[in-house]
Chain A
């Protein structure tokens, strides 16, 4: 609401400034802080020399409420690009990489996409969040540009054949969660709280509810919240408690989850907490009382503590470069770049091809690609969906532990 209003007003201001050039005011100065910020990361300096390079673009929110995910993706891509360039590039060609901010907004994502196209992007790794991803997928479909989203989980993100994803889809997560709870006899009565204003959360919830019908537990309470009312969760928690649920399913991100967990603690309600991959990161919330999250279980593609060699290599490099443990967004982004590499190599493509020809060649080569990465092994793709098994992660003694 405020955003829409401010856009309108910024528009009005631009007009008024254009009309009278001397009316320089403080508003112009302060507003400039809010204008779109973009970060350009040149990974290679070979552009000027006329040598051919693959141009890979990335789009995601590096400012705004979902900045944490976009930043992770930006960093994850950067590490993969640096590694590949250091190891001699793709088919002997270096990669140039540029990342644009979309603030998690569909309209700005399209602008970012156009900026990258002007720059000469041939392959898109992005976008990070679902709604902008769906919007950009329409554009890449029209332009026939190869697009892999590290973390766009909505079904529509990969509805075209030029699009694929690295993460699980929302329905997969919902279905798998319900199966896991049912098969392990974790609960008989389940309460759900979900974000009805978010496609990710709603998508998981709907698949969960559909699968729950086949499972030996009952959904006794379903409560929602929206992006505009996610401060107070007292009602949702109280209703779950009153319904006598022994498991609380929370298909949303950890920012809200930390509030829900605190509210449960306040009301003395102690169900089993079960989340989705958006919970990854909850232990990293600064100053968070990790005891609140003890026993929280969720499905995720990646655990930083894994002993897998590739994972450890990635985690070490990431921690050295950015001073924090990578989350699954960074891991999916890292893998996405390697999948692009695998597809280009399988297609035997070169940078002098147009984005459209490159896309056709890569899409044609995808069925033959089997990828081993940090978020899964022997991954193949069917209709843009990765075939990989989720890991079950539980918070034990304040640490993520793979079950």
Chain B
């Protein structure tokens, strides 16, 4: 029983990281209607910035994380401005390919600067682990912070979308960007803001990912990025609570699948569940059915 709870806690911890990454994916997809495959690599850059500032330059972790958030925000906006904005009228495929190109570009830049050698990431979390049931169950500080951060970010985003002016502009653009423009919404700056928020989230996700799993290479972000994309589709891409639920479920299914079925088949199980969900509900768990009016 303790074993099961321990697996569950680990699953939720991994799932929360997926969820934070998935929030970034889902926001960008919902508003700009594009798959930002470079998102996973912005995570990696975020982690490297913290690595350089905290482990390298010796700054306090909080400052390092703040610098990382700012750097990733600027990076996200720059990517959007340079690589995606000129293609706004181009076909979806062209933008998708550009995103993959940006992804490789970021990986290779990191490879050039930091080299291929694995770096060990020092956790920025200093909270003591929580020991329950006479030491049989240990919940690490990283887990507590990750889950808390994930919930705060989700609630914050939902509030922002619902009540702030720019948030409502985002909703409008996501529903119909042409009509939103006619109503006086600045579509370009709204999309730029979306990328800024998404990339700031990526920086936080990168720090939390590497704090829990302390190895950092230029390819660190790519696999969690793909998994988080799956989580976003699972929960219903474009939906903020969907990304949260999708992320947590994905993490829990992955860990429980490893623990009770087979450690080799963990990914197969995750994707089998995804296929079943999409067969039953093609828009994902919380995805909205958008009806085209004729």
A-side contacts of B254, CB under 8 Å? 229, 232
A-side contacts of B273, CB under 8 Å? none
- Comparing A49-57, A62-70, A110-118, A380-388, the segment that makes contact with chain B is A62-70
Report B2 CB to chain A, min CB distance, Å.
Answer: 10
Answer yes or no: B36 CB below 8 A from chain A CBs.
no
Among A2, A27, A267, A289, the residue within 8 A (CB) of B101 is: A27
Q: Is the CB of A232 within 8 A of B120?
A: no
Q: Beta-carbon contacts of B207-221 to A below 8 Å, as 1s and 0s?
A: 001000111010100
Q: Is the CB of B226 within 8 A of A1?
A: yes
Q: Is the CB of B116 within 8 A of A10?
A: no
Report B265 CB to chain A, min CB distance, Å.
Answer: 9
Report B187 CB to chain A, min CB distance, Å.
Answer: 20
Answer yes or no: A26 CB below 8 A from chain B CBs.
yes
Q: How far is the CA of A9 from the CA of B104 in the complex (A)?
A: 13
Please judge, given known A-B contacts A26-B86, A196-B264, A224-B264, whether A255 and B97 are in contact too, CB under 8 Å. Answer: no
Answer yes or no: A48 CB below 8 A from chain B CBs.
no
**How many of B's residues come within 8 Å of A, CB to CB?**
59
B-side contacts of A235, CB under 8 Å? 7, 10, 255, 258-259, 263
Q: How far is the CA of A68 from the CA of B114 in the complex (A)?
A: 12
Q: Is the CB of B138 within 8 A of A266?
A: yes
The dominant DSSP class at the A interface is helix
Please judge, given known A-B contacts A26-B86, A234-B10, whether A224 and B116 are in contact too, CB under 8 Å. Answer: no
Q: Beta-carbon contacts of B81-109 to A below 8 Å, as 1s and 0s?
A: 01100110010011011101111110111
Answer yes or no: B118 CB below 8 A from chain A CBs.
yes
Report B209 CB to chain A, min CB distance, Å.
Answer: 8
Q: How far is the CA of A286 from the CA of B14 in the complex (A)?
A: 24
Q: Is the CB of A34 within 8 A of B105?
A: yes
Please judge, given known A-B contacts A26-B86, A31-B104, A288-B120, whether A9 and B14 are in contact too, CB under 8 Å. Answer: no
Q: Is the CB of B105 within 8 A of A33?
A: yes
B-side contacts of A236, CB under 8 Å? 258, 263
**How many of A's residues come within 8 Å of B, CB to CB?**
55
In chain B, what residue has the closest Cβ to A235? B258
Answer yes or no: B62 CB below 8 A from chain A CBs.
no
Q: Is the CB of A27 within 8 A of B214?
A: no
Among A12, A66, A228, the residue within 8 A (CB) of B93 is: A12
Q: Chain B residues in contact with chain A, CB under 8 A?
A: 3, 6-7, 10, 14, 37, 51, 55, 82-83, 86-87, 90, 93-94, 96-98, 100-105, 107-109, 111, 115-122, 129, 135, 138, 140, 209, 213-215, 217, 219, 222-224, 226, 254-255, 258-259, 262-264, 266-267
Question: 4 closest A-B pairs (Cβ-Cβ)?
Answer: A34-B104, A67-B116, A30-B101, A288-B120
